[in-house]
Amino acid sequence: MKLPNKVVSYKTSILPKLVIILNELQHQDMKISELYKRVHKKTTDINEFIQALNILYALHKIELTEEEVISFVGRN
C-alpha cells in the first residue's frame, strides 16, 4: 500500500483513489465489477483498486452485501 511520504507523493499514493471510489458510490450502489469499470482508468491496476476497497471497508465508509453490491455508508 502506497501512503504519501518523502518518496511517494500524494498524487501517486493510494489516497486519491479512495476519493475517486467514494465519489462514484455517493450516487448509487453498484457491483464490484461495475465500479471497477468506472474507475479503472483512474487507478494504476486491479491491486490498487482492491487495496482502496479494503481501506474504505476498514474505515466503515463502504459496505459489501452478499450480492457483491458495494454501497457508500454515509449516504442516506
pTM of the shown model: 0.87
What is the number of structural domains in the chain? 1
pLDDT at 44: 74
Segment holding 69, helix H or strand E: strand 69-72
Residue 59 lies in a domain: yes
- Residue with the larger pLDDT of the pair 1 and 61: 61
pLDDT at 2: 87
Residue 10 lies in a domain: no
Question: Residue 38 belongs to a domain with what CATH number?
Answer: 1.10.10
Residue 66 lies in a domain: yes
* Inter-CA distances, 59 with 2, 7, 8, 67, Å: 17, 25, 22, 21
pLDDT at 32: 94
Average pLDDT over residues 31-47: 91
Residue 4 lies in a domain: no
Domain around 29: 15-72
**Is 72 in contact with 22 (CB distance < 8 Å)?**
yes
